Amino acid sequence: MRRPLTVVGAAIVALAASALMFVPPAHAAVGLHIDGTTIVEANGEPFVMRGVNHPHVWFTGETDSFADVKALGANTVRVVLGTGKRWGPSNDVAAVIGLCKQNKLICVLEVHDTTGYGEEGAAASLDEAVDYWISQKSALVGEENYVVINIGNEPIGNVNAGQWTAATAAAIQRMRANGFQHLLMVDGPNWGQDWQSVMRNDAQTILDADVRRNTVLSIHMYAVYNTAASIVGYLDHFEANGWPLVIGEFGWRFNAGEVDHETLLAEADARDLGYLGWSWSGNTDPILDMATSFDPARLTTWGERIFNGPHGIRATAREATIFGGTTPTTPPTTPPTTPPTPTPPAGACTATYTVLNQWPGGFQGEVRVTAGNTALRQWTVTWTFADGQTVSNAWNATVTSSGSAVTARNVSYNGTLAAGAGTTFGFLGSWTGANRAPVASCSGS
């Protein structure tokens, strides 16, 4: 929009243009970057995130978790950090990146203090999150091949969700003005779920705010996405508009009103869309733990599903080529948590009942079904409660009750078991007085 004033002025402009022609454009790719709707590495190879969230800021000593999720097949870990306003401060960013690289994981780093800003009084603003990233810049610069910066977790609550657009655009611009060349990730408003469609409507505005054209949008799918139609409709809209998207957090259908995780996983796989499940361990609500007490040998039903089930991490993850591009071929070796049992007769199966978590009036149970020395096509587990417990809902099995007697039958995707193979199902229950674990029996054919 500049007007030529004189011939001399034009010559000066021409010289300046000549001098600048060797400078890379502002959007030149460095490390992980966006190509159309796809995240690609510096060499142009597509990279699809398959991983989990790890609550590092609250469990800084659980550093083995990086190796554990890698051994289970993950290629990415989203690491929870804090600015110090609510949690942290996380001043160990260099060490966290080192753990990611050591274990050949792409590192998504996020500031959690921003969660629910505008509705949650203690939350930090996105501007404060950028202040934190600037304070950690020395640990981040040069790591663009390995690190994605998720500027702020779920940065706007349900109050005035429309403020998200301006705040997010400004945060991106500040990051770029301060020299960050990384792939940036931005979460939607409404505690990440974007149920008012602010991110859905303003996505192009956010992408255009990045002079490097290197931002990916992130949706968090929980109870709002409890039907196939809600999931498919949201993903279709972004795909049709050519907007890059990942599912930065999601839960699973442990209750009838919760997220339809089966549709989510299948759609993400079909679309080569990245996903990061919540979360490895340490939840105050234990239902969303994938591993009990950070122990990879004690995967919960949710953990078994996301790592080992159809469209899950082990089946679909591909390691970043910056690390060599290999994938695990065998499950990790872990010590047994219970004494070995005798080999069951042909066609039989065993069932191990465990109370994973318990709180006043309620508990979470899990049953592991293991085939004997021949394969199974279907199985049934039965037990009888001795203390008046009841099952309120279940997952990965069809569970019915008649008084104190409970019967659980396989569902369509987990009835077939190879000899010696196992699967788990889980349930929520209520109790009063006592909650002794019953002996479960298994039959199969």
Nearest by Cα to 153 from 182, 120, 175, 126: 126
Is residue 119 among the annotated active site residues? no
**54/77 Cα distance (integer angstroms):** 7
**88/73 Cα distance (integer angstroms):** 29
Task: Give the helix/strand (H/E) hosting 417.
Answer: none
107 near 148, Cβ under 8 Å? Answer: yes
188 near 218, Cβ under 8 Å? Answer: yes
Give the residue carrying structure tokens 């990415």: 76
Does the pTM exceed 0.95? no
- Supply the mean pLDDT for the chain: 88
Q: Going residue by residue through the chain (445 aa), what tens digit of pLDDT does each one get? A: 322 222 223 333 333 333 333 333 444 568 999 999 999 999 999 999 999 999 999 999 999 999 999 999 999 999 999 999 999 999 999 999 999 999 999 999 999 999 999 999 999 999 999 999 999 999 999 999 999 999 999 999 999 999 999 999 999 999 999 999 999 999 999 999 999 999 999 999 999 999 999 999 999 999 899 999 999 999 999 999 999 999 999 998 877 778 999 999 999 999 999 999 999 999 977 789 999 999 999 999 899 999 999 999 999 999 999 998 754 444 444 443 444 444 554 558 999 999 887 777 888 889 999 999 899 999 999 999 998 999 988 888 999 999 999 999 998 878 888 898 889 888 888 888 889 999 999 999 8
Q: Is the peptide bond before 89 cis (omega within 30 degrees of 0)?
A: yes
243 near 208, Cβ under 8 Å? Answer: no
Nearest by Cα to 216 from 241, 239, 188, 244: 244
Is residue 249 among the annotated active site residues? yes
Query: Who's near 298: CB < 8 A, 6+ residues apart?
Result: 291, 292, 337
Active-site residue, from 41, 249, 267, 319: 249
Which residues partner with 408 through β-bridges? 381, 399
Active-site residue, from 143, 144, 154, 366: 154
282 near 80, Cβ under 8 Å? Answer: no
**227/44 Cα distance (integer angstroms):** 35
Which residues partner with 277 through β-bridges? 52
